[in-house]
Structure 1
Amino acid sequence: MAACLENVQIASCLWFEGGDKRNALASMVAGTLFFLGWWFMIDAHTKYPDDTSNGYLICGICGTLSLLMVNSVTNSQIRGDAYDGGCLGARGARGWLFIGFVMGFAAVIGSCWIMFADYIYNNDARHLWPGYALFLQNLFIIIGSVTYKFGRSEDNWS
């Protein structure tokens, strides 16, 4: 059975070979995921205004701040190659990245908690879409953040 898979060849796509195209694709995918996340929450908040609380938007705001924090630090700053300035140097950049990821994952966990506590287990909730939208918003924001952080090639910047 495994012998039949040895002859399979995947065609090389010339579009991905250049670093500029990879950066463009990573930017488009990450931006689309970020847009879809906020679009889901805006849709749920406008369609069911009585079933959503304005306080639930704090999860999305924390996820957006996480996206900005994670992507404001380059990989060379994390490694300590090109970053000697600042108060803390590479250690401060690593701490900033860590806090950004913690905020992003905390937003996903918080939105999951709200989804289950207020929408799925609550029998009084008339609609489940606001809970799903809140979770999908934060999930798409963190996936977009990770896509933009690790999908880019920083070789062209040096």
Structure 2
Amino acid sequence: MDRLSGCCENMNLPPCVWFEGDKRNAYAAIVSGFMFFLGWWLLIDAAAVYDNGISNVHFVCGIIGTISLLMVNSVSNAQIRGDAYDGGCLGPRGARIWLFLGFVLGFASVIASCWILFANFVNQPNVKTYPGVALFLQCAFIFIGSTIFKFGRSEDLWG
């Protein structure tokens, strides 16, 4: 064992760009993108495996969650505070309303998918529950990815 303990001490690895300096924005983008991908992947998997489990109407929750992700992350924190946005007919108040509506859509998609899970999949006899669980997890992962992308980034690094 003593001969193997020093075998990796002389190994030189090239520096990794991802671990140099402050990479908070990159990490937030990677994690939130993976959560978004995983959510849609689960629902597409459930639709492919269970033909009778997922109908076209069940995709609406994920689409509303995706619209929520776009709405929440299209407004910067400076616009919310009123530092960088004076134009338009509503100014910072309009940006706050837009952000609020984005979060309302995100919560609504999660709540609607939970309702569909219990109403159509859990309480029904002889029905597989995985499509309902996949639908709920899709909306939950999209919402979690949206909040990670909104609050995990640092806007100070943009300048």
**Please, what TM-score do these two structures have when normalized by structure 2?**
0.86
How many residues are matched?
Answer: 142
**Cα deviation 1:107-134 (Å, max 9, x = unaligned):** 0000000000000011141x11100000
For residues 117 and 126 of structure 2, the distance between their equivalents in structure 1, rounded to whole angstroms, comes to 14
Structure-1 residue corresponding to 2:148: 147
- In structure 2, stretches of 5+ residues that fail to align are 1-17
For residues 59 and 47 of structure 2, the distance between their equivalents in structure 1, rounded to whole angstroms, comes to 9
For residues 141 and 73 of structure 2, the distance between their equivalents in structure 1, rounded to whole angstroms, comes to 15
For residues 156 and 25 of structure 1, the distance between their equivalents in structure 2, rounded to whole angstroms, comes to 13
Query: Cα offset for 1:155?
Result: 0.5
For residues 53 and 151 of structure 1, the distance between their equivalents in structure 2, rounded to whole angstroms, comes to 34
Q: Is the 8 A contact 1:69 1:100 kept in 2?
A: yes
Task: Please point out which of 30, 36, 57 is paired with 1:55.
Answer: 57
For residues 42 and 104 of structure 1, the distance between their equivalents in structure 2, rounded to whole angstroms, comes to 20
Superposition map of 1:76-91 within 5 A: 76-91=78-93
Structure-1 residue corresponding to 2:30: 28
Query: Cα offset for 1:52?
Result: 1.3
Q: Which has the larger radius of gyration?
A: 2
Q: State the SS of the aligned residue for 2:48.
A: helix
For residues 52 and 124 of structure 1, the distance between their equivalents in structure 2, rounded to whole angstroms, comes to 15
Q: Are the structure 2 counterparts of residues 131 and 146 from structure 1 closer, same or farther at C-alpha, using a change threshold of 3 Å? A: same
Structure-1 residue corresponding to 2:40: 38
Q: Does 1:131 align with 2:132?
A: yes
Structure-2 residue corresponding to 1:5: none
Query: Cα offset for 1:16?
Result: 7.8
Supply the AA of the counterpart residue of 1:99. L
Q: Is the 8 A contact 1:45 1:52 kept in 2?
A: yes
Supply the AA of the counterpart residue of 1:131. G
Query: Cα offset for 1:17?
Result: 5.2
For residues 122 and 39 of structure 1, the distance between their equivalents in structure 2, rounded to whole angstroms, comes to 25
Q: Which 4+ stretches in 1 moved above 2 angstroms? A: 14-17
Q: Is the 8 A contact 1:34 1:140 kept in 2?
A: yes
For residues 103 and 20 of structure 2, the distance between their equivalents in structure 1, rounded to whole angstroms, comes to 28
Q: Is the 8 A contact 1:108 1:135 kept in 2?
A: yes
For residues 99 and 143 of structure 2, the distance between their equivalents in structure 1, rounded to whole angstroms, comes to 13
Query: Cα offset for 1:15?
Result: 3.7
For residues 110 and 78 of structure 1, the distance between their equivalents in structure 2, rounded to whole angstroms, comes to 28
Q: CA RMSD in A?
A: 1.3
